[in-house]
Amino acid sequence: MRELFVWYRVDDRNADALRAEVEAMQRSLEQRFAGLQARLLIRREADRQTWMETFARAPRTSGDAGGGVDAAIEAAIAAAALALRPLLASDRHAEAFEIVRSAEGR
């Protein structure tokens, strides 16, 4: 399965407004794509913050070979995030990783 990680920088003065927008965007995407789980992580720095959005999607059934964040979901995330651009202090950087072993697989 494939997970998506998106990071970008935010000026403190835009953080509150942006957080509301990101959380609304993530909830909308979770409703649109069954099983999608989105999180927002924040690292606070001097007068700027680095934000990381994570997106994961579990298979819908035990035999489902799907799951993960596919190209269609990644494109929908990118399209939804266009509205956030005026509040960002940097570009959004998306990186995808394949799960090799999960915590349950120990």
29 falls within a domain: yes
Question: What local confidence, expressed as pLDDT, does residue 65 receive?
Answer: 59
104 falls within a domain: no
pLDDT band for position 66 (cuts 50, 70, 90): low
State mean pLDDT over 76-83.
Answer: 98
State mean pLDDT over 56-84.
Answer: 85
State mean pLDDT over 51-59.
Answer: 93
105 falls within a domain: no
Number of separate domains in the chain? 1
pLDDT at 104 over 80: no
**Distance in Å from the first CA to the final CA of the chain:** 17
**Domain of 16?**
2-99
106 falls within a domain: no
Q: Which CATH number fits the domain that encloses residue 73?
A: 3.30.70.600
pLDDT one-digit tens code per residue, 9-44 = 999 999 999 999 999 999 999 999 999 999 999 999
CA 77 to chain CA centroid, Å, is 8
Cα angle 60, 66, 69 (rounded to 5 degrees) comes to 95
Q: On the CB side of 82, how many CA atoms lie within 13 Å of its CA?
A: 6
Give CA–CA dist 74/77, Å, rounded.
5
Beta bridge partners of 56: 37
